[in-house]
Structure 1
Amino acid sequence: MIFGPGAKALMASVAFAASLVGPMASSALARTNYAVVVGVTEYPHLPRNTWLVGPRNDALLVRDYLLNQSPVPFDPANVAILADDVDGGREPTLASIVETLDDMAQKAEPGDFLYLQFSGHGFQQTAADPSSELDGLDEIFLPKDTGRWVDRTQGMPNVLVDDMVGDALDRIREKGAFVWVVFDSCHSGTATRAAPGDDVQERKIDPESVGMPPEVLYEAATSRDVMAREAPVRIEPTGAASTRKGGMVAFFAAQTNETTPEMPLPKGAEGATKYGLFTHTIFSRLAENPSVTYRQLAEGVLQHYTSINRTSTTPLFEGDLDAPVFGMEMEEFIPQWPVRVADSGVTISGGLLNGLVPGTRLALLEKAGDTIDKAIGYLQVDRADNFTSRLVMASPPVQDEADEVDIALTEDELEATSLTVKTLGDIPAGAYARMVEATFEFTLTVARPVASDAHPERVAMVNELLEALAEDQNRPMRIALVAPGEPADLRLAVMAEASLDDAGLGASTLPTLWFLPESGELSLEEGRRPPSITMESDDTAAIGDAIAQYLARIYRATNLARIGQGSDYGPQDVEITFTLRRQGTGEEVPIETTNLPVGLPGDRVHLRATNNTGSAVDINVLYIGSDYSIGFMGKERLQPSATMDDEFIEFTEDSYGKELIVAVASEVVPLKATLDLSYLGQPGVRAMTRGPLPESIADLIGEMDSGMATRAGKSLSDRQNKQRGSVTIYPVQTAPRP
């Protein structure tokens, strides 16, 4: 894999059969890996309410991953941390950042690698060269010593301007080094936070906080072209004209008109630490499987955002996305870790970021290369932090013959098995623990609406209806109710449209129930307006039915994304491409998992799918609207080497906003009819018993829609004939014609 013109090939094979991080080829060892991690939490010259908590924690998380989990070696001396209260770190001032980047440009050699991260506040100000920006604004990152805005010509003192970042990266890449830069910072999002998230803070600064007249930003916002998707920092990608530059990948947490949050993560974990959602998601996906390309990593981030209903933030990904992360070509990743036995307990060097939540079961293997059928015992996670888990003994996966339900064995029953390890003291030296199932949480967590002085009776009605739905065992969904402000996938708010900040003349004064994303944001802007129910009527039954329909839609939409994280088809196994065809002009715009094209009424979506596997594959296409409706677009069975070409979707004027095209590929089971997911667009039928442990994507979708289980596990069996599948999500922004 060549990273860019003039850059040397950095190909290495990493064998994960021996441990999480195996030996690397000499070409990778010959290069030097650098990192510059900036985390700004305190802004002494700005109001205290603009200070953050998460950026320092982001810096520590990234440092710990690079030094202890990365598939390529990072020398601590080459990992520069610019964050307050970090041992060995420097203050994240503008001078420190610029000096460190200059130092990297001096040190870099052809083939070297640089990871660069900025966590903190982003913002915008009048561009030094207005002709260089689409909206006349420079994107800026705020170091610790940033000062208050002066005027349109001088802007804010001590800020890192996008052109400064681009120039620094150019100098590093001119030396032939590959750069991966991550910006976990916001810019100028303006949506109202109508439903609280008590522990969630948007990395967002209001113009008033820095002394900037709001019209400086608002004037620019009116000039933005809905068709233009502008990155927060302009960075020149590797191009054909560049013969010496190293490659580059850039990950941005949000577009220029969006915010990004920090919150306690993992969600719901006891004593969770506050991190930037973007940073935590990136390194969680990497910890679960480092054998990915940047594009696959980006897809994992987007799928996770959809699974938690984070619809108000759209990350951006640019550059050489098909290069392997950290420049390492790897073999198939095996989620297993050497077992450490000590007087203090049994531990492994995998934790929450690796998907090892309490209760996760692992097979105990005598040697790293053994298959699961040679397991000598079973363990499960008792407690875990980001990179470490404490283990206890567990039962092997055994099913009750009557109900086909996975059951735990008693101590006597465990003793009677053929397993050789029945107590922690029996674990032999050199043993490994391997994950045997991936868990999927199917519960939709719903935050109740906050109390309202204006509409107390409507809030009471909503709470009563929610309680009835949560207790109804016959509905094909599982919801958990939490208090306002608690971590949730969905937040509800009861308020009149006229009470919102961006309400115009003639806005409704009727009480309205709003279905808000995880962020709790509410905007009446075209394309960002969330679903709602006007509660003018006292018809409790009708309102209850409407609430149930919305919850069922959201339940299915988020769970499809969760299942997608367990896909086991590779990108070359089943090639699926969607193309947007413009009405009138016939212009074709690729729809990729990592971009967000704008679809206008009359535009159509063309699908091309090719089956490169040795067995038949069923393809289903679903469309999830901005109102969480799920439309079934069609299905097709593809024989090996077969290709389908068809137009599935035409955009209408029914709704606008961020919408999703979902492609489900499932390996065909002999003698079974074509997998048909059309039922997902209709109320499901609750299954009365739980079947065997789901082993395929198709099984998981059925398990999810049965409404029976709050959690399901997908087998990670290493048998060769298991049924494979994938769920891939393609985001699209729909908008009215200008």
Structure 2
Amino acid sequence: MGRIAKSAFGVVLALLIPLMPAQAREMRALIVGVSEYPSLAKNYQLEGPRNDVQRLRDILQQRGFAPRNITLLADGVAGASGLPTRAAILAGLDSLATQSAKGDYVLLYFSGHGSQEPADRNTPEGREEPDGLFEIFLPRDIGKWDESDDGGKVQNALVDFEIRRAVDRIIDKGAFVWGVFDSCHSATLVRGADDSAEIRYRHISPQALGVPGKAMDRAEADAVHSRGKSDAAAPDPFASAKGQGGGVFFYAAQTTELAPEMRLPLGHPDRKPFGLFGFTLMQALESGAVMTYRQLAQYVLSQYGGMNQTRVTPLFSGTQLDAPVLGQDAVPIQQWKLDRTATPAIPAGALSRITEGSLFAIVANPLDKTESAIGYAEAHNVALSSSALTFVAQNGKPVLDPKEIPAAAHARLLRVAGQYQLRVVVDTNACEGNCPALAPIVALQKSGIAGAQIEWLKAPDAGDVAIVAFRDRVMLVPPALQGVSCKARKAAAERQRCEAELRSGSLTLAWKPEQGGDALRETLATALHGVARATNLMRIASQLTERNGGGKLAVSMKQITRAGKVLPLSAERSPVLHAGDKVEVSLLNEGQMPLDVTVLYLDASYGVSALFPYGGASNRLEAKASYSFEIDINDDTTGLERLVTIAVQARNLGERADFSFLAQSPIEQLDRTRGVEDDDVTAFRDAGFADYTTRGVGAPKTPGDRTSMQVFNWTIQK
């Protein structure tokens, strides 16, 4: 903790049809998914891109794209326009540039491997690369490094400036371009062929493409070393958006990170490989929710936080971040036709973010108002694309009689039920012989952890966190690093690099085998309790960022570097901060109703600090009132850290909604009994933040429409 605050879809029906944007003449898309690479080794093959592109094609058609205007280049996908070769991709880009006109909308989506190659300094594009490297996307027919007198290149690679030229041609026609790149570019690679199949990275090292070390050394020696110092300094690798149409560009990872593909949704028995970035974007698109690109970026980052993804922070840029996504600004309703069989069901499930216990209103006709619902239902047996429904009494309505349901009835999603179990993977594969950590872990599984709901899994499954045991230590490993086997690396240098990255990206518990099993069990219980609280806080944030409740709290921030430079901070960026920097936080209630505001800080070691209110002060901001404070940045903890604001519309004569109790301090103990308090405060306690949640008090509540949250991300480096 240590931060010091100083005062101062399935078939989404009917009501999605009006989402056709009023201004766009034509909506076109080029969707590229490369899963198979015939020229590369087996361990470099992917599974997720073909799932990504099929799902996106279906969603775009639901959102108003005509099938004739969607070009899908993929392998292993029925109905694809062709294979994702270099020639086909360039032809698709050229066709878009030729067809586009003022007011058109163009979506570019690239899913597959990325890498780098030395930039050709004899070309204008090469001289512009500050790190001396071109980012490249790998089409299906990617070749090997081709050495030449002037340097060389990877055969058939799609180089960043080639995509950038095509994008500029489209934008110069007056079209709007949204580019989404779900692949890696510059990054170290800790995963190997023997690692878990649950997670793969969409990156291939230049060495694996045959780029000689001396060529990379020349590029490094010739570079202007800017990457890794600040994400703001890193240029967009693929797009410039210089034309009159404008554009927005989403990247799955920063230039020093890895973009994973995972079997998703996490924990679902029928999960499939998807790119994490594309999967999260498509959840938002499938919901039909109206949002700007900036809000979508914030949604993605909050979702990553809810999944405990601490090793990758996507990048968002462009000239039109405040434009509506897909140019669509009508308010949709997410609903599905009700199957009136013996077991009522709808054709939507986990891929549409429906969870066990999600609440639906049953309307007699798809255009009926929600308040005219004839009954209510909750979801159960949620599969990837289907859910069974159980009719329930709600809002004064009795349990619906199936015989009274008309043929045109639809189930309209009202609220997704919160899922607050912490999925913990136990991995003892690296702890050979009589593993000293095994017995304490088994004992903890039997006894449980007060105040935390744990679902225990075994490697190679992936979870929210993994307990990885070695003979001399125990580590808590986030999802992106689970299944990594450094011991399997053949070269000593690779093993050392792998171990270093595993240590830096994980939390090594302060325990040694000589301390005994009881000490480890207690240490693990305390640590997992903290992980559960921090993870569930982000899960609530990921739910509430979709809603517009909680009044109008405006949050603005500035970074004041230790050199005195002032830089703006925003929720869709993840800057790098260093010890000695300061962050100035300003809160403004722009609404007409009082707000109860809490500001929390989540550090890289799962600590939670309450920054506001501070020292017992009131946290109620009256209409138009403001408050500012500073945060001193230190490097007691390093890695991805988050600032979270919670705003609740105050009730007349009601108690203040103060969430300072969420701070993870060994001195402050959580209440063990439920008292009279605001319903939304109770909902946060129910999310696994108090011991009583394991004592039969019923299903957890979900915060209501009076509550909103915002999440800001940054990385602390030494």
- Superposed CA deviations along residues 124-163 of structure 1, whole A, max 9, x for unmatched, are 1101234312211100000000001234822210011000
Matched position secondary structure for 1:52: coil
Asked whether the 8 Å contact 1:42–1:51 carries over to 2, the reply is yes
Q: How far did 1:463 drift? A: 2.1
2:688 equivalent among 704, 723, 732: 704
Match of 2:714 in 1: 732
* Per-residue deviation, 1:95: 0.3
The match for 1:422 among 401, 420, 439 is 401
Alignment-derived partner of residue 617 in structure 1: 595
Q: Secondary structure at the match of 2:379?
A: strand
Code of the residue aligned with 2:530 in structure 1: it is R
TM-score when normalising by structure 1: 0.83
Q: Does 1:134 align with 2:130?
A: yes
Find the aligned partners of 1:151 and 1:465 in 2 and give their Cα distance: 59
Distance 1:698 1:179, change over 3 A: farther
Instruction: Report the Cα distance in structure 1 between the residues aligned to 2:269 and 2:641, rounded to whole angstroms.
Output: 33
How do 1:422-501 residues align onto structure 2 when only pairs under 5 Å count? 422-423=401-402, 425-454=403-432, 456-468=434-446, 471-472=448-449, 475-495=450-470
698-707 vs 142-151, which moves further: 698-707
Question: Which residue of structure 2 aligns with residue 66 of structure 1?
Answer: 60
Structure 2 equivalent of residue 327 of structure 1 = 327
| Contact 2:418 2:702 (C-alpha < 8 Å) held by counterparts | no
Relative distance call for 1:641 and 1:221 in structure 2 (3 A) is farther
Q: What letter matches 1:394 in structure 2?
A: F
Q: Report what 2:627 is aligned to.
A: 644
Once the two structures are TM-superposed, the CA of residue 94 in structure 1 deviates from its matched residue by: 0.1
Q: Where do residues 84-95 of structure 1 align in structure 2 (5 Å cutoff)?
A: 84-89=75-80, 90-95=82-87
- 1: CA distance between counterparts of 2:371 and 2:297? 34
TM superposition shift of 1:292? 0.8
1:659-683 CA-to-partner distances (Å, cap 9, x unmatched) read 1111111222333443333322235
1:43-58 pair list within 5 angstroms: 43-58=37-52
Partner in structure 1 of residue 171 of structure 2: 173
CA distance in 2, matches of 1:487, 1:527: 18
2:184 partner amino acid: C
**Range that drifts further, 388-397 or 103-112:** 388-397
State the Cα distance separating 1:689 from its structure 2 match. Answer: 7.2
Task: String of CA shifts for 1:691-710, please: whole Å, max 9, x gaps.
Answer: 99996376335543124448
Aligned to 1:146: 142
**Of 480, 483, 487, the match for 1:519:** 480
Measured at CA, do residues 285 and 18 of structure 1 come closer, stay the same or move farther in structure 2, by a change above 3 Å?
closer
> 3-state SS of the aligned residue for 2:479?
coil
Instruction: Give the structure 2 partner of residue 394 of structure 1.
Output: 391
Cα pair 1:667 1:723 within 8 Å, conserved? no
Q: 3-state DSSP class of the match of 1:486?
A: coil
In structure 2, give the amino acid aligned to 1:108.
Answer: S
Q: Do 2:590 and 2:623's aligned partners in 1 also have CA atoms closer than 8 Å? A: yes
**Residue 576 of structure 2 corresponds to residue 594 of structure 1:** no
Is 1:202 the counterpart of 2:195? The answer is no
Q: 1:343-382 deviations in whole A, cap 9, x for unaligned?
A: 7975545433332235433221234565655432333435
- Deviation of 1:467 (Å): 1.7
2: CA distance between counterparts of 1:44 and 1:478?
A: 45
**Structure 1 match to 2:375:** 377
What is the one-letter code of the residue matched to 1:355? R
Work out whether residues 19 and 338 of structure 1, in 8 Å CA contact, stay in contact via their aligned partners in 2: no
Deviations 1:497-542 (A, max 9, x none): xxxxxxxxxxxxxx12111111126763699442212424333333
Q: Please give the alpha-carbon distance, in whole angstroms, between the structure 2 residues aligned to 1:393 and 1:658.
A: 41
User: In the alignment, is the contact (CA less than 8 A) between 1:436 and 1:715 conserved in 2?
Assistant: no
Q: Once the two structures are superposed, what CA deviation does each residue of 1:217-254 show, in whole Å capped at 9, x if it has no partner?
A: 5886794543232256242145xxx5xx2121111111
Query: CA-to-partner distance for each residue in 1:413-463, whole Å, 9 max, x for gaps?
Result: xxxx9648411x421133332224321111111111233355642331452
Q: Please give the alpha-carbon distance, in whole angstroms, between the structure 1 residues aligned to 2:286 and 2:556.
A: 28
Q: Which runs of 5+ in 1 are unaligned?
A: 1-15, 399-416, 497-510, 717-721
- The aligned amino acid for 1:94 is R
Give the Å deviation of 1:39.
0.5
Match of 1:256?
255
Asked if 1:40 corresponds to 2:18, the answer is: no
What whole-Å deviation, never above 9, does each CA across 1:275-309 have from its counterpart, x for those lacking one? 11111111112222431111111111111111111
- Letter matched to residue 478 of structure 1: Q
Q: Distance in 2 between matches of 1:631 and 1:551?
A: 17
Give secondary structure in 2 for the equivalent of 1:155: strand
What SS class does the counterpart of residue 135 from structure 2 fall into?
Answer: strand
Indicate if the aligned counterparts of 1:694 and 1:703 stay in contact, CA closer than 8 A.
no
Question: What does residue 162 of structure 2 align with?
Answer: 164
1:352 alignment counterpart: 350
Q: Does 1:550 align with 2:527?
A: yes
Point out the more displaced range, 74-83 or 694-703: 694-703
The count of aligned residue pairs is 666
| d(CA) in 1 for partners of 2:687, 2:256 | 38
Deviations 1:168-192 (A, max 9, x none): 0000111111111111112243253
Q: Which runs of 5+ in 2 are unaligned?
A: 1-10, 483-497, 614-618
Q: Cα RMSD (Å) of the superposition?
A: 3.2
Report if aligned partners of 2:168, 2:241 keep a CA contact under 8 Å in 1: no
- Classify the secondary structure of the residue corresponding to 2:606: coil
Tell me the distance in 2 between the aligned counterparts of 1:531 and 1:426. Answer: 56
Q: Which structure's relative contact order is higher, taking Cα pairs within 8 Å and 6+ residues apart?
A: 2
Q: 1:704 is paired with a residue of what secondary structure?
A: coil
State whether structure 2 residue 95 is matched by structure 1 residue 103: yes
Offset at residue 121 of structure 1 (A): 0.2
Change (3 A) 1:525 1:104: same
- CA distance in structure 1 between the partners assigned to 2:462 and 2:235 by the alignment: 29
Counterpart of 1:274, as a letter, is P
Aligned to 2:611: 633
In structure 1, what is the Cα distance between the partners aligned to 2:85 and 2:676? 57
Q: What residue is the counterpart of 2:18 in the other structure?
A: 23
Q: Deviations over 1:191-221 (max 9, x none)?
A: 5359964422222323443223457558867
Q: Is the 8 A contact 2:645 2:710 kept in 1?
A: yes
TM-score (norm 2): 0.85
Q: Which amino acid aligns with 2:635?
A: E
Which amino acid in structure 2 is aligned with residue 646 of structure 1?
Answer: F
